[in-house]
Amino acid sequence: MGNGKRSGSGGRTNWPVNLAGCVGAGAGVALSFLVGALADLRGFWPGMIAVCVGGGVGVVLGRLAGSLVFRRPPGNGPRD
């Protein structure tokens, strides 16, 4: 680990995909607030469940889109 490598699946070159996941989470939470207001969800727990589901789906879709958009060119991967 002393040579600048980080443990994990992506290391430091994975930041665009992680950022896309965060943007997707924010969009999912905002969308769940909008849907919650339109569907007239009343109470704390239905709204909290909607926010958690919206954020989770947003993270998954954001990371998927980020991995498709920010694909590394072949041959430029980390060397072991």
C-alpha–C-alpha distance, residues 43 and 14, integer Å: 38
Residue 4 lies in a domain: no
Q: pLDDT at position 31, please?
A: 93
| Higher-scoring residue by pLDDT: 8, 74 | 74
Residue 80 lies in a domain: no
Count: domains in the chain: 1
Q: pLDDT at position 19, please?
A: 93
Q: pLDDT at position 58, please?
A: 95
Q: pLDDT at position 41, please?
A: 79
Residue 45 lies in a domain: yes
Residue 25 lies in a domain: yes
Residue 2 lies in a domain: no
Residue 24 lies in a domain: yes
Residue 10 lies in a domain: no
Checking phi first, is residue 34 left (phi over 0); if not, alpha (psi -120 to 50) or beta? Answer: alpha
Residue 20 lies in a domain: yes
Q: Residue 60 is part of which domain span?
A: 15-69
pLDDT tens by residue, 29-80: 999 999 888 888 788 888 899 999 999 999 999 999 999 998 877 766 665 5
C-alpha–C-alpha distance, residues 27 and 79, integer Å: 35
